[in-house]
Amino acid sequence: MVKHRFFSEFLITAAVIMTAPPALSYEVSAVTGGGSIEGTVVFRDSVPMKKIIPTKDVEVCGDPRDEPLIRVGANQAVESAVIYLVEVASGKEWPTPGKTPELDNEKCRFEPQVQVIAAGPLDVVNSDPVLHNTHGYYGKRTAFNLALPNEGQRIPVELPRTGTVRIDCDAHGWMEGWIFVVDNPYYAVTGPDGKYSITDVPPGQYKLVAVQPFIGPTEMSVSVEGGKATTLDIELKKK
């Protein structure tokens, strides 16, 4: 009950932050004398664990185990934290389009577990030889609900608006993933070293949000000067 209440509170908070309409739609424009924001995300508290007890498809899903709800490495660095700026009216180009973003069901895990994409297409893939039912939610509203019974199956979907999309599998209840759909390209996802970098930021004052799905969002202000790197280390704390 406590877990579900926490997730509900987090989803409501994240939805408010990420789905509120910006003052202006984002426009691509030349960035002259842009600066950058960089730093490291850490978590210094005890790492919460989740017990995984597969009850079927064990040959694919693995044995019972404990998994961390926050991936913390050397020096308390947090992996897969999302850092983004909100209410950015204009600035750099979006990353060069490559293949359509993917959400893969692989060994009864979502890969990647956390990702950031622009509003638009997403391919949902099943790399396992077992049935997955991949279910995405904007808050409590279903974004997509897909049965994928076949290995190698791929189904295209659309995520048409910004927001936090929580993913679970109706066939394997422990599976959980997160997609952050953003309205501007000023974002980063931390790697195993906890580091992030957001580049080509027009000089000015911004609201920056750091999100780790099982802790929730942390907001702060940051000032960017032209041609300079602003260092902003972030410590995430349990709510």
| Boundaries of domain holding 101 | 2-236
Res 45: pLDDT: 95
- Out of 19-28, 50-59, 157-166, 186-195, which region has the weakest mean confidence (pLDDT)? 19-28
Residue among 151, 160, 86, 94 nearest 121 (CA): 160
| Predicted TM-score (pTM) above 0.85 | yes
Q: How many Cβ atoms from other residues are within 10 Å of residue 217's Cβ?
A: 20
Write down the number of H helices and E strands in the chain.
2, 21
| CATH number of the domain encompassing residue 215 | 2.60.40.420
Split at pLDDT 50, 70, 90, the class of 10 is very low
Res 8: pLDDT: 40
Res 239: pLDDT: 77
The structural domain count of the chain equals 1
What percent of the chain is predicted at pLDDT more than 90?
Answer: 85
Q: What percentage of the chain's residues is helix, strand, coil (to nearest 5)?
A: 10, 50, 40
Angle at 79 between CA 176 and CA 135, to 5 degrees: 15
Q: What is the mean pLDDT of residues 64-70?
A: 96
